[in-house]
Structure 1
Amino acid sequence: MFDNIRSNTQGLANSHTETAKVLKGTVLPILERLHAEIKNKNKELDKGAGKGAKLVDKARNTTQKHVELLGQHSASYESSGGRLAASDDPYVLQRGVYHRLHKQIIEENNNRQDMLSVQNSFSQFEAHVVQTFQDAINQFNQTMANQAEQQRTLYGDVAANTAAIAPNFEWNGFLQRNNGVLIDPNGPPRSMNNVSFPNQNHKSTQPLIAGSLERKGKVIKRYETAFFVVTPSKFMHEFKTDDDFAKDPQPENSLYLPDCTIGALDGVKFQIKGKDSSKGSLGNKFSMTHEYSFHAHTPADAAKWWEVIRSVAGQSSDEMPVSRRTSNEFGDDSAAAARANVQGVPPATAAAHAPTDTSAERAAAGPTQGDLRFASAQQRFYIPSHVHATPVLCQIPYKYFHLSDLPPPFPSLNNIVQD
């Protein structure tokens, strides 16, 4: 019996030694890989979700600073009687707050999406952990099947209980324990429609008038459409658009209307003479007075803008906007006389000196004392005196001169001789 016990004990010891080798070669590597995956997942959580939370905090701090800045200058508006720098205009600061709130909400929504992605990935990872652990236990159970019946029964019961665990059991328990911390995936994201902040509707942020106007360029003399606004601080700001979210809304031009002069209203046109004060204190010192020409969409719109600007402008004048004259302003029956009357030549005089001689030989003879001369950007020309007939037409200034403005037979190129 003792020999048998010794033999069986030795066999049991050998069996345990062999089982240990099998466990180290099959079960243990599975658990080591799972342990490494859990550590990597923890690092991924720290680097991913943690970084998004820092960006949200940074955006919130930036928004809070600009909200405080709006409150500061809104209070200054009351105490200074509305006299503020263009960059400190509560209207501009309010639009800046909208812009930074928009960026903050984008960061918050991005962080929300990141957190939802992390939550979903952890749900799958928890299922993977449970399934991997189940595989390890099954390997362990197969190894221990060579042990005594009691051990097989014991480890079989452990494997059965382990296999009964659902893949989402741990995750569901985690959700129940941390329901107040995790984000509800069914909740709506934030929107600018339900955002409010201090001084959002302060009277200094509400424009007196706002909308689109056309303004003539300083260099290229053509009208371009932009968004204009007159604020309670008596600034007339020009923006490219009325969009607060695409980019930080900084004025392209800012006119402090109490320092400006507004001209008379001419249909849909009016002019304002003043300095651009949108470049800060240093830029304003070098700013030159300029006449800004505006063009409204309708006479009614022009009247509204003109009345609001006139009510806050420093001065007003009866000067009408300058319009370029064209040949259509002259009547068909007296076109030649009207064109000749640019410098005050009476129509009767121009008609009495109507051209009669169109001799090609006289044109080829070259310029004489009575010839009418004019210049283009590259060449100089003259019209022979036998063509224009009267020296009085030489009073037409060259800067208004055009072939289509001359009475017949002037437009004929055969009568133009290059000097």
Structure 2
Amino acid sequence: MSGDSKTMPLRQGTTFSDEAVPEIDPTTTAGLLTERLQAWKHAVVYLEDYVGAVEKVHKAHSKEYEKVLKTISHPLREGHHFDQGLGGVAGFFENMRVNTQAMVNSNTETEKTLKGTVLPILERLHKEIKAKHKEVSHGADKSAKEIEKARNATQKHIELLGQHSASFESTGGKLNPTDDPYVLKRGVLHRLNKQIVAENNHSNDLLHVQDGFQAFEAHVVQVVQEAMEAFNQVAGGQAEKTRALYADMLGAAQRIPGDFEWQGFQARDGDRLVNPNDPPRSLDAITFPNQSHSSTKPLIEGSLERKSRNKLSWGTQSAYYVVTPSKFLHEFKDDDNLQHDPKPELSIYLPDAVIGAPSGDKFNVKGKDKGKSISSKLAGTSELSFKAHSPADAQKWFEAISVAAGATGPAYESTPASPVVGGPESQGSTSSKMSKVDSGHKQQEAGITGETVSSPTAMSPTDKVASGPTTPAGEEKKIIG
């Protein structure tokens, strides 16, 4: 047999695609291999039945050999697993049928010897195959259930992403924090990674089992050959004719190469086996619906330091913050989507918040945590103090937050003093008020078109945005220093 004939063909039936949830039954290979073990077990059962019948036939005359022939008169179960030509298991059984027909009139008296030497070999082999079958089927069932569970979780989250991505368009982007398409997309990546790990582990397990099949089948063939050799030594001690017939059956078994049936099996059903050359699935190569939807792309994201809200603590803590098109400021522990489910630690809905203009590398946001945690429900409205990496970064964060919040007032430079809103000194002239409103409207329009609006000239912290004649009441966004 040439080396080329041993090359495993491509197995298109088990090659994972780049779809998030492939339409592939993970038990296909396992089911095929367990069925093959069934075929081998039934082949051994055929031999057990045959030798057992021969044992009984040796107690009687030629009529009893008719019973022997009946044990192998039917085609092999799962016979499509075996090569139907000469030189294989099917040819071996056909040879046995022919020679047994010639033994119909032979008389043997070796019942006890057959019972004590040949049958135990086959019975042990039967138990080995049965144990192997149980090992493969139980392991495959367990990992297949894990894959099914993981795929269901991924599919459910993808459907949620599709639902709320569509809702983002119809509702103008006002969603609950947990329904934010950005958050849902990260949740999809988390579940998809767990699914891929389960799929790759299942594939590796099957490949390990599959690689051991050739050696196991060679062992089965070797044990069958040993059983047939013992059978020949016992039954062939009779008349020369009987001995010659049994020797011919032995020759048919010995002529089967250990890998003959496996190589033929690969040639016929190789497309359903695991291809060892297939690379494992990669998260980077997979696409899924709404992966690049505009609602999943942050306006700005990165790490910031935030002063602790705990009055007993004076330090700061670093976290990963994101401003999303859904107008939320989310806080995450980090930007890792794989190790844990990326659920926001804090979610501020910016249109309801008050934003302070940056002072150096610091800026403030005052708002209520819209998350569903118990702590967010008890916290109420609080002022959060942030520190960026530089004053330029702080200005970028302020501008992105202002765009998301839909602010109509100009950006005021923060000062150490607390702002006073509504004092008579803060009213200013009519022209001054109008210029502030106009500047705010320009900033809001720039937010809609995605342009970056530079902060206007810093003003007194006691100033506030005054409603002009063309600005409806309640539409302004206060920006404090």
Shift of 1:139: 1.0
Mapped to 2, the partners of 1:216 and 1:113 lie a distance apart of 48
Q: Do 2:218 and 2:259's aligned partners in 1 also have CA atoms closer than 8 Å?
A: yes
Q: Deviations over 1:15-56 (max 9, x none)?
A: 822x22111111100111111222222222221112211221
Q: CA deviation at 1:221?
A: 2.2
| Secondary structure of the corresponding residue to residue 383 of structure 2 | strand
Identity of aligned residues (%): 55
**C-alpha distance in structure 2 between counterparts of 1:79 and 1:264, whole Å:** 31
Please give the secondary structure, in 2, of the residue aligned with 1:254.
Answer: strand
Counterpart residue number, 1:304: 396
Q: Is residue 2:330 matched to residue 1:241?
A: no
Counterpart in 1 of 2:431?
Answer: none
Quick one: structure 1 residues 230 and 209, their matched pair in 2 at CA, closer, same or farther if it must change by over 3 Å? same
Q: Please, which of 279, 286, 295 is the counterpart of residue 195 of structure 1?
A: 286
CA distance in structure 2 between the aligned counterparts of 1:91 and 1:14, rounded to whole angstroms: 83
Structure 1 distance, partners of 2:237, 2:416, is 108
* 3-state DSSP of counterpart to 1:167: coil
CA contact (8 A) 1:206 1:232 kept: yes
- Corresponding residue number in structure 2 for 1:336: none
Asked if the contact 2:346–2:376 (Cα under 8 Å) also holds between the matched residues in 1, the reply is no
Partner of 1:268: 361
Which residue is 2:303 aligned to? 212
User: Kindly tell me: are residues 321 and 235 of structure 1, through their superposed partners in 2, closer, same or farther at Cα, counting changes over 3 Å?
Assistant: farther
Deviation at 1:14, TM superposition (A): 12
Summarize the alignment of residues 18-57 of structure 1 with structure 2, pairs less than 5 Å apart: 19-57=110-148
Are the equivalent residues in 2 in contact too, given 1:275–1:290 (CA < 8 A)? yes
Q: Is the partner of 1:153 in helix, strand or coil? A: helix
Find the aligned partners of 1:288 and 1:321 in 2 and give their Cα distance.
Answer: 25
C-alpha deviations, 1:318-371, integer Å up to 9, x for none? 473659xxxxxxxxxxxxxxxxxxxxxxxxxxxxxxxxxxxxxxxxxxxxxxxx
Alignment counterpart, residue 289 of structure 1, candidates 368, 377, 381: 381
- Pair 1:320-2:414 in alignment: yes
Shift of 1:181: 1.2
* Residues 10-159 of structure 1: pairs in structure 2 closer than 5 A: 16-17=108-109, 19-159=110-250
- Superposition CA RMSD, Å: 2.3
Deviations 1:276-301 (A, max 9, x none): 11226x87654411111111112221
d(CA) in 2 for partners of 1:322, 1:216: 16
CA distance in 2, matches of 1:174, 1:54: 27
Bigger relative contact order (CA 8 A; separation at least 6): 2
Paired with 1:218 and 1:322, the residues of 2 have a C-alpha distance of: 19
1:172 aligns with 2:263: yes
- Does 263-272 or 226-235 show the bigger shift? 263-272
Paired residue type of 1:223: T
Structure 1 distance, partners of 2:174, 2:379, is: 19
Decide whether aligned partners of structure 1 residues 46 and 322 sit closer, same or farther in structure 2, where only a CA change above 3 A counts: farther
Q: Map of 1:360-399 to 2, 5 A cutoff?
A: none
- Identify which of 330, 342, 346 aligns with 1:253: 346
Structure 1 residue 80 displacement after superposition: 0.7
Quick one: which amino acid aligns to residue 305 of structure 1?
W
Q: Is the 8 A contact 2:193 2:338 kept in 1?
A: yes
CA distance in 2, matches of 1:217, 1:165: 77
Write the letter of the residue equivalent to 2:156.
K
Equivalent residues of 1:82, 1:232 under 8 A apart: yes
Distance 1:256 1:314 in 2: 11
Distance in 1, matches of 2:180 and 2:375, equals 17
Q: Aligned equivalents of 1:226 and 1:74: distance in 2?
A: 26
Q: 1:14 to 1:166 in 2, by over 3 A?
A: closer
Distance, in Å, in 2 between the alignment partners of 1:322 and 1:181 is 72
SS in 1 for 2:270: coil
Asked whether the 8 Å contact 2:356–2:365 carries over to 1, the reply is: yes
Whole-Å separation in 2 of the counterparts to 1:14 and 1:69: 76
* Structure 1 unmatched runs, 5+: 1-8, 324-419
Checking the alignment, whether the CA contact within 8 Å between 2:359 and 2:413 is kept in structure 1 is no
**What is the alpha-carbon distance in structure 1 between the residues aligned to residue 280 and residue 123 of structure 2?**
40
Kindly state the Cα deviation for residue 236 of structure 1 after the two structures are TM-superposed. Answer: 0.7
CA distance in 1, matches of 2:119, 2:283: 54
Following the alignment from structure 2 to structure 1, what is the Cα–Cα distance between the partners of residues 226 and 140? 31
Retained in 1: the 8 A contact 2:321–2:332?
yes
Query: CA 1:22–1:214 in 2, change beyond 3 Å: closer, same or farther?
Result: same
* Pair 321,52 (structure 1): closer, same or farther in 2 beyond 3 Å: farther
Q: Distance in 1 between matches of 2:353 and 2:321?
A: 16
Q: State how far apart, in whole Å, the 2-side matches of 1:45 and 1:133 are.
A: 22
Aligned-partner residue type, residue 289 of structure 1: T
- The letter for the 1-side match of 2:414 is M
Superposed structure 1 runs of 4+ greater than 3 Å apart: 12-15, 282-287, 314-319
Contact 2:369 2:377 in 1 (8 A): no
Distance 1:68 1:311 in 2: 29
TM superposition shift of 1:87? 0.6
Determine the C-alpha separation between the residues in 2 that align with 1:167 and 1:320: 84
Return 5+ residue gaps in structure 2 as ranges: 1-60, 62-102, 418-481
Counterpart secondary structure, 2:223: helix
Deviates more, 1:233-242 or 1:290-299: 290-299
Separation of aligned partners in 1, 2:170 and 2:236: 89
In the aligned structure 2, how far is the partner of 1:198 from the partner of 1:89?
15
Q: In structure 2, what is the equivalent of residue 417 of structure 1? A: none
Q: How many residues align?
A: 311
